Amino acid sequence: MAKRGNLFVISGPAGAGKSEIVKKLLAKHPEIKLSVSCTTRSPRPGEVNGVSYHFVDDAKFDALIAEDAFYEWAHVHQNRYGTLKSAVEEGLAAGNDMILEIDVQGCLNVMAQNPDATSIFVSPPSRANLEKRLVGRGTESEESLRVRLGNVAKEMAEAYKYDYIIIHRDWAEVPNALEIASDEVFAIITAKRLEKEKNVDFLDAFTADLTR
Ligand code: 5GP
C-alpha cells in the first residue's frame, strides 16, 4: 500500500502570485498534485473544465453542498468555490502530496478540520509592490484598488495563523523571485515528508530487521 500523501494549503492575497508559484512547482515536481476545485464562476479564456476547475452552475453547487461533497467551500468575489472531499481523499490515499490553492477562509477551515495539514501563506513583499501588481493587471479602478487593499489588510491579519510565510519578492529586484518562492514551497514539502512521524514504519522495519 502506498504511503499516504501530505496535505498542503496555499493561500494569500490576490496579486501575491500564488498560482504562478504553484504552477512552477508542479512543472518541476509533477508527483505533487493540485486538487481541482469546483466553482460557479465562468471559465476564462484558456481555462479547461476539469483541469483549471470543475465549472458548475448554482444548482449543481447546491446539490454538492447537500451531498456533503465539499471538504470546505466559500464565497469569493461574488462566486462560490469548493474543494471536493473525493479529490483530496483519493489523492492522499494514492500516496500523492496534495496542494489546495484556496482563499484564506477556506484555508482556516481546512486547518480547523485537519491539524496535520501544512499551511503556507504567500505574501507580497510590501504594499508598494502589491499596488504595482494590482495596477499592472490593468483592471483596477481607484475605488476597486482601495477595496482590494482593505481586503488584503484583513487577509494579512490571518497570516499569523499559518505554519509558513513565503515572501514573493519583487522580480524587478530579484529576477528569479518566482523560482525562489517555488523552491521554498518545495523545501516545506520535503521537510514534511522527512518528519519522524512520517517515517516510523521505516524505522520499525529496519529495527526489526537488525534485531532478528
Ligand atoms: P480565481 O477565480 O481567480 O481562479 O480564484 C479566486 C480565489 O478563489 C483565489 O483566491 C483562489 O485561491 C480561491 N479558490 C479557488 N478554489 C477554491 C476552493 O476550492 N475553495 C476556496 N475557499 N477558495 C478557492
For residues 40 and 191, give the distance between their C-alpha atoms in angstroms, rounded to a whole number. Answer: 35
What is the average per-residue pLDDT within 27-56?
Answer: 95
- Is the CB–ligand 1 distance for residue 96 below 6 Å? no
pLDDT of 139 higher than 70: no
Q: What is the pLDDT of residue 15?
A: 83
Pocket probe for ligand 1: among 52, 65, 102, the residue whose CB has the most ligand atoms within 8 Å is 102
How many A from CA of 177 to the centre of ligand 1?
23
pLDDT of residue 177: 97
123: pLDDT confidence band, cut at 50, 70 and 90? very high
pLDDT at residue 137 is higher than 80: no
pLDDT band for position 146 (cuts 50, 70, 90): confident
DSSP letters spanning 155-204: HHHHGGGSSEEEE---TTT-TTHHHHHHHHHHHHHHHHHT-GGGGHHHHH
Would you report the helix, strand and coil content of the chain in percent, each value rounded to 5? 50, 20, 35
Percent of the chain whose pLDDT exceeds 90: 83
Taking the alpha carbons at both ends of the chain, their separation in whole angstroms is 24
Q: In the prediction, which pLDDT does 199 show?
A: 94
The pTM for the full model equals 0.94
- Which atom of ligand 1 is found nearest the CA of 18? 12
Residue nearest to atom 2 of ligand 1 (CA): 41
Regarding the beta carbon of 97 and ligand 1, being less than 6 Å apart is answered no
Across the range 91-120, mean pLDDT stands at 96
Q: What pLDDT shows up at residue 171? A: 87
CA distance 30 to 94: 14
Cβ of residue 155 lying under 6 Å from some atom of ligand 1: no
